[in-house]
Amino acid sequence: MSRIGKKPVPVPKGVTVSVDGQTVKAKGPKGELSFVVNDLCLVSLEDDKVSVQPVDKSKEARSQWGMSRTMIANMVAGVSNPFVKKLELVGVGYRAAMKGNSLSLSLGYSHDVDFPVPAGIKIETPKPTEIVVTGIDKQLVGETAAKIRAWRPPEPYKGKGVKYENEFIFRKEGKKK
């Protein structure tokens, strides 16, 4: 039994949620999102709470139950206040700057890396060594941050690279003579 799926998703003030068959739409001050729930789950909206139930007791239906509830909860949370991922650049000469609608990264390569900002995402660089990824879609924010980090993941010897704000880099000792 899903423990997370049993809890109904509360709808905060300022957010409107509509359920049309298997499609759930959330509209708030920051934007609008929609999600199509799997056919193995039933979605209902009653007195400012969205509840998800499995169609039957099959393993597939129960596995989709908790995931569907979490997707709806992330959608409702995103339209009221956006999700944020912070990245740090560690290394001599590693810099980031916004140039128009693309993020320009200096990561020790012979050329600068230009990362186009996807629609629905806002990227800021408050410092040259700090990147802030913001958006209402949790999955898109995480994916964008992961793609930026993938250009130069942190290495274990000096810790150089692009890392998440609170990420711990397991350090290794170098060669000994």
The pLDDT tens digits of the residues spanning 153-172 come to: 999 999 999 999 999 999 99
Same domain, 127 and 157: yes
**pTM (whole model) above 0.85:** yes
- Total count of domains within the chain: 2
Last residue of a domain, one of 61, 80, 99: 80
- Model pLDDT, residue 97: 95
Containing 109, the helix (H) or strand (E) segment is none
In a domain, 120, yes or no: yes
In a domain, 170, yes or no: no
Last residue of a domain, one of 47, 80, 113: 80
Same domain, 92 and 34: no
Write out pLDDT tens, residues 8-65: 999 999 999 999 988 999 999 999 999 999 999 999 998 889 999 999 988 888 889 9
Same domain, 106 and 63: no
Last residue of a domain, one of 80, 113, 137: 80
Domain span at residue 95?
83-164
Write out pLDDT tens, residues 101-152: 999 999 999 999 999 999 999 999 999 999 999 999 999 999 999 999 999 9
Same domain, 59 and 89: no
CATH of the domain at 8: 3.90.930.12
- Examine the pLDDT at 2 and tell me if it is beyond 70: no
Alpha-carbon gap, residue 17 to 50, rounded angstroms: 8
Alpha-carbon gap, residue 172 to 157, rounded angstroms: 5
Same domain, 97 and 30: no
Residues with Cβ within 8 Å of residue 45, at least 6 apart in sequence: 17, 18, 19
Alpha-carbon gap, residue 5 to 31, rounded angstroms: 25
- Model pLDDT, residue 157: 94
Residues with Cβ within 8 Å of residue 72, at least 6 apart in sequence: 9, 24, 26, 35, 37, 43, 50, 52
- Model pLDDT, residue 131: 96
In a domain, 19, yes or no: yes
